[in-house]
Structure 1
């Protein structure tokens, strides 16, 4: 674009200086804008030979940053900062303008409407082009003052043809600056930021915001706070963070609102360390956190389990004269309940009441939900009844939902249904979570017909099922072996726009794994990742367990390494599946390495984990290592499962070390010992190991005095089959004398 020479100086004057200079303003009222061939024109005046191209001045250096945080494509001549040349109109032969709608006429109509009391220009019906709007607003500011110009400005920016026309905003702000009305000019710039953020051009608007400093409009902290808020709400946290950090460099110092906006952003992302850093900075400046921001902080820190820090924050707030309110305490109570620390939550409740604060329905709902989650539904129901009888608060939909979910979790579906009916009587409308809790409860119990009824009912009431609702039904169908029906249900949801989540995929992957269809499970896993749904540790554990059962340890190891690469934390089931898989293929040493890694990572092994290891070591004849693990398990207070007890004792008996086998079982409880002895006697008798069976049989008679009939029959038959008639005769004699009695299997079964 050419820069035309001017008679007045050797450089092109800025656009707004031309519009606002006194010499130009004197003649501006005589100008009228018209359109010819789609280009704006001014009527030629005798004193003008040339009209220069109107363009913004080159960007002046500013201390925003050494590298220009918000660079323009070409700082010397940016398309956003240029105004097309304004040419002069030529009068017709009769002296009549080619365009009937002139800037002057627009200004007269706007001024008339404003004087008539129509400050929002509701009666203004004239069609105005973008170029006319620019000329009119500058002329209005010069003739009628800031308020009339602003009235026209607000009328224009609600219209799409002006809302995203940056030169219009710049002209208005520059005109207001020229009249010394900086406050209204800042208001215009805030409108510009809001408008351009709607079309994804927040950064361009902010760049222009800083450029306006060269025209005498300093950057306002309130305007930058608006930019921060918009950036945070749109998810541009990194941009907001950069702008916040460079505020002092640009001569704008963050205020309380700036800090609170960034704290809210960090809380949303769970960046508690950054929140703590900002709070210290606020403390240094003497700023205080309000109760609303405190609630966000409490929720963020509770999700991370940093409850001690929250208590310290409450103390700090009290010292600063801003005591935590009911909402702050409720947020803490809710966080504690979600983490299962219900007892501590009630202690916080007592502290809250002791300070004269009265818990509301949300406080009680959090406590009810916490009690239900740990299985204390009866205590939760007592608290629920207290709320029902209260004159201040009544249970809301969330309270009923928490109670219904608690009963469904304990399979008390009749009580859950009763509460659903009670909700309707109270005029409360169940929401999606309410119905989903009930549907999940019935689906887990196999009551799929009732689950379908509830799903139809919620649709009739305008309550659309969500992905959790579909997951509950699909899981119930899969557990009932009705996988085709589950896929039909899934297709129905997809047709209605359902977005599958990681739980949906995990349910389907688990179903294929149970059927041994690992190839289809892997294909579904790939589709899950391709859809942008990140698998969690439970998804990986499902696949690892399936491959371990098929003794495909190479695939298992790859999945396990991938799991660790994603920084997922393996669970007890993950490690146990790996250990069991290695033991199945005769790699007990590899299983022991996984076990050691499990202990190092703080994951506690259970009796199933130990059983897998002991079984694997026994298969490889490493009995002493197996016994050491067995004793270690007992030392930790774990109860050995039946497989562990029998496997270890039997392996010693096979090697004619029956005395060692008896000593291994000595630390068991009486019922467990009797149960194990009976099974061992039957097994040893079936393998003609009469001496070992006799040792356990005599100890059983001596210490218990009763014998199971099945065990007795098996032992006596083994004695006759192996010509041990004297042993069978002695046993029969003891029974005939009444020193030994018979008992049923249930009498010795472990409960």
Structure 2
């Protein structure tokens, strides 16, 4: 089990604690600027003003500054400490957006990109400006940039320490941590960060759960993926198309068909039928082979939603696959069509069902025919003479006289009149 070192105050080393003591003065007042810092600061301010005059969106501003002040040609002008000074000065005098523009320019260079105190100073300054959203944005960058050089754990520790320093962490920041951890298959860290989210008052959203599902699916860890998917669906979160496709691929590939069907049913229950059927379509394309039980479930779910078009599509696919519908399929469909007052389709299904009953009788499959017959009689007493005679003859031939008596009682109407034609 991974130890959550950020929970222990003594974990942070003396240099890290000293870095916080050094950060605060930058954010409280503008430090004395040397000539290099003054020059860079002026260039940043000038570029920002030009961008503002052209009314360009902020997203173009870092590129605008880079064009006026190419990174490669000016990389040696600033030391990391001077870059910190520039960022702090801009945040104090010109505001958060100007400082961010310089920040995005600077982190293209490795000497700034992987210099933790550069991030911490800017976050503290943005917090001082009351700009928690942009402070979280800087945290995103730190997590991703440090993750790419194997320092994700250090970045995660600092994210939680910044919360201790007053930063209001957003769920997007912690989702970023989850995604980076899962991208490098650091599952223990992802699980612990998820737990820490809840403990620190940051409510996981659908993206949080989805990240965990996807992470485990990519590693073919079906049991864990299923556990997170269940937790996600129980909270009523919808699953997007890409995740549905991935889940069905993995579950079919690992022969977890029953779980895939459970997901289909759950998606239908929470009203996400579109993704439920997309998931099923993906399964068929992945080689998913349905049996009688599977088709019965699919048709039943479609009928529950009154999606009779889809139910008939499953029935057609079932028959084409060489699987004959049983009495449960027929009675489910007949009931659904009757509820929708679609009597023509209902009668056609009755006819099909009685044709099958006659075939069963001719093949002397009396027990199956009896079950079939019994279910149909729950829906109607109007059985034609030919079908009834075939059933009775099959019962007598197999010496099953009790079935004859039982069926006769059910066919007799409430007034003692025969229901035969």
Corresponding residue for 1:332? 283
Corresponding residue for 1:105? 39
Q: Name the TM-score, length of structure 1 as normaliser.
A: 0.34
Corresponding residue for 2:30? none
Structure 1 residue 141 displacement after superposition: 0.6
Pick aligned residue for 1:129 from 66, 79, 83:
79
Pick aligned residue for 2:185 from 227, 232, 235:
235
Corresponding residue for 1:405? none
CA distance in 1, matches of 2:241, 2:20: 51
Q: Name the TM-score, length of structure 2 as normaliser.
A: 0.59
Q: Which runs of 5+ in 1 are unaligned?
A: 1-64, 87-98, 359-369, 371-751
Q: Which runs of 5+ in 2 are unaligned?
A: 23-32, 52-59, 314-320, 322-421
Q: Is 1:155 the equivalent of 2:105?
A: yes
Contact 2:171–2:203 (CA under 8 A) maintained in structure 1:
yes
Corresponding residue for 1:367? none
CA distance in 2, matches of 1:280, 1:356: 26
Structure 1 residue 344 displacement after superposition: 9.4
- Structure 1 pair 357–154 and aligned structure 2 pair: CA distance change class (3 A): farther
Structure 1 residue 105 displacement after superposition: 2.3
Corresponding residue for 1:170? 120
- Structure 1 pair 333–347 and aligned structure 2 pair: CA distance change class (3 A): farther
Count of residue pairs the alignment pairs up: 284
Contact 1:71–1:207 (CA under 8 A) maintained in structure 2:
no
Structure 1 residue 71 displacement after superposition: 7.2
Structure 1 residue 189 displacement after superposition: 0.6
CA distance in 1, matches of 2:95, 2:122: 12
CA distance in 2, matches of 1:277, 1:85: 44
Q: Secondary structure at the match of 1:289?
A: coil
Pick aligned residue for 1:224 from 164, 174, 196:
174
- Deviation string 1:322-346 (CA, Å, 9 cap, x unpaired) is 1145642332113444xx6699999
Q: Is 1:247 the equivalent of 2:197?
A: yes
Corresponding residue for 1:77? 13
When Rg is computed on C-alpha atoms for both structures, the one with the higher figure is 1
CA distance in 1, matches of 2:94, 2:39: 14
Question: Counterparts of 1:582-593 in structure 2 under 5 Å?
Answer: none
CA distance in 1, matches of 2:151, 2:12: 20
CA distance in 1, matches of 2:234, 2:294: 32
Question: Counterparts of 1:114-513 in structure 2 under 5 Å?
Answer: 114-117=48-51, 119-120=61-62, 121=65, 122-125=67-70, 126=74, 127-325=77-275, 327-337=278-288, 354-355=309-310
- Structure 1 pair 100–309 and aligned structure 2 pair: CA distance change class (3 A): closer
CA distance in 2, matches of 1:272, 1:85: 47
CA distance in 1, matches of 2:2, 2:245: 38
- Deviation string 1:195-214 (CA, Å, 9 cap, x unpaired) is 10010100100101111123
Structure 1 residue 299 displacement after superposition: 2.1
Q: Secondary structure at the match of 2:273?
A: coil
| Alignment RMSD (CA, Å) | 3.9
Corresponding residue for 1:653? none
Task: Give the number of the structure whose residues are more often helix, by fraction.
Answer: 2
Contact 2:2–2:188 (CA under 8 A) maintained in structure 1:
no
CA distance in 1, matches of 2:80, 2:8: 24
- Structure 1 pair 334–228 and aligned structure 2 pair: CA distance change class (3 A): same
CA distance in 1, matches of 2:135, 2:283: 44
CA distance in 2, matches of 1:151, 1:160: 17
Structure 1 residue 222 displacement after superposition: 0.8
- Deviation string 1:134-181 (CA, Å, 9 cap, x unpaired) is 001101011111111111011101112210011100111111000100
Corresponding residue for 2:359? none
CA distance in 1, matches of 2:244, 2:183: 19
CA distance in 1, matches of 2:90, 2:81: 14
- Deviation string 1:594-653 (CA, Å, 9 cap, x unpaired) is xxxxxxxxxxxxxxxxxxxxxxxxxxxxxxxxxxxxxxxxxxxxxxxxxxxxxxxxxxxx
- Deviation string 1:105-131 (CA, Å, 9 cap, x unpaired) is 221111011111182212125422211
CA distance in 1, matches of 2:14, 2:137: 24
CA distance in 1, matches of 2:297, 2:269: 18
CA distance in 2, matches of 1:311, 1:85: 57
Q: Secondary structure at the match of 1:102?
A: helix
- Structure 1 pair 265–206 and aligned structure 2 pair: CA distance change class (3 A): same
CA distance in 2, matches of 1:300, 1:322: 20
Q: Secondary structure at the match of 1:162?
A: helix
Corresponding residue for 1:649? none
Contact 1:70–1:207 (CA under 8 A) maintained in structure 2:
yes
- Structure 1 pair 84–203 and aligned structure 2 pair: CA distance change class (3 A): closer
CA distance in 2, matches of 1:190, 1:353: 47
CA distance in 1, matches of 2:312, 2:247: 20
Structure 1 residue 218 displacement after superposition: 2.1
Contact 1:72–1:78 (CA under 8 A) maintained in structure 2:
no
